[in-house]
Copies of this chain bind each other. A is one copy, B any other.
Amino acid sequence: MTANATFTLTILSSQHGIDLGNFQLNGAQLGLPEGVPIAVRQQCLVGGKQQGSRLLTLMVGDKEIRVVPTRGMAILDVQRDQVRFGWDSPVTEVVHPSFINQESAGGLGWLDGFNEMLVRCGYQWAGHPGEDRGEFLTLHGRIQNTPADEVILEVDLTPPYQVRLRGRVDEKRFKFTNFALHTCLSAAPDSPYLEVEDTLYNLASYDNTYQAIYHNNFGTPILQPGARLHITGKQIAPFNEYAGTGLETWMTMPAPTQDFDEMVFNIEALADEEGTAYALLENADQTQGIEVAYAVDTLPVLTLWKNVDTREQGYVVGIEPGTSYAYNRRHQWDLGLVPTIPAKTSKVFKVRFGLFTSSQEVTASRDNIVRVQGNQTLCVKTEPTVQL
């Protein structure tokens, strides 16, 4: 025990031919001291378009984190205490990628499986579908519909009993793309935070461009009439003319609204001294909230996706740090939002979720955002960033 203070379990490995399938392990089986509230469970889903998907549930203290290795290590949702972090998409299945045709419906096939709290967009490209430089790009890239090759669980057997779930997802196309994404989710029993640290490797001998958007989505109970967004930012601009009409009320959330559809706002992030920017969605009485903190060195912009339509349509707000906005890539070259990953190098993306279930936690987060923003004004641009 002294020699090896971490329990390590290979849940899936294409290289080693390991695939645990349905299993569950409690704290004792993980080698933890009695009373440490950590457990893990995996289910092989069945039926419909979720046949073949895996759902991995990490129980870490008061948090229950559901991860989908089959869909690029997405986070389906998180429950902390009685509060659910995630949303209710009309898509209720955990759709297996083999049922997704991203080229369908003019490149919108990605929407057939869209229902998670954390959806990665990227990494060869992200954003809206369409032609760019002779290439047809489908909505939000391929990573979310790519199953992980490797899933490894690590549980520290000493306080603070950190739990890490590592994944590897390959995004490859001969002659075009040779990316490997290493994901790491981590959480500890006594912390309200869930951290995501992803490393994108360009294994090729050529530089390549890339894009990433961390499409984090939150619905009820936090999203409700009177819920508010707080951010640290340098500038906000509407995505298009329609969003321009909602610019004055971008912070406040209405009830589910027929015909609202979506308003999207583009934000230039403002970071604290450690390079971290923040966004907080708090409920109406400020007793629950979701904070998204992100490292701006690789994720310099934030997309707010205010999709406060009816519940059946998906009542949801996206808080989405990215290399880029949600436009098709062809619009982002001039914005300087199509970065390059040099040959044989890597890029790290850090996103931390604060899963707040008390007014103290929410207030502390809001106070910090006010502190970071300081006396820097959030510049409001009324013109859309791009004239579509």
Contacts and interface: CB of A to CB of B under 8 A. Distances in A.
Interface string A307-346: 0011111100000000000000000000000000001100
Contact of A205 (B48, B49, B313): B313
A8 interface: no
A127 to B, nearest CB: 16
A52 B49 contact: no
Given A111-B173, A147-B51, A203 B93 contact: no
Interface in A170-207: 170, 172-176, 178, 203-206
The oligomer's copy count stands at 3
Interface residues of A, number: 66
A105 B135 contact: yes
A104 B105 contact: no
A149 B90 contact: no
A297 interface: no
B103 A103 contact: yes
Contacts of A138: 104
Contact of A170 (B93, B175, B176, B310): B93
B46 A105 contact: no
A348 interface: no
A217 to B, nearest CB: 11
A12 interface: yes
Given A98-B98, A311-B205, A104 B104 contact: no
B46 A12 contact: yes
Nearest to A147: B48
27 contacts: A13-B47, A17-B46, A47-B147, A47-B149, A48-B170, A49-B146, A90-B172, A90-B204, A91-B172, A91-B174, A92-B172, A93-B149, A97-B99, A101-B102, A102-B104, A108-B173, A108-B176, A111-B174, A111-B175, A174-B314, A175-B314, A203-B312, A204-B312, A205-B258, A205-B309, A206-B310, A312-B343
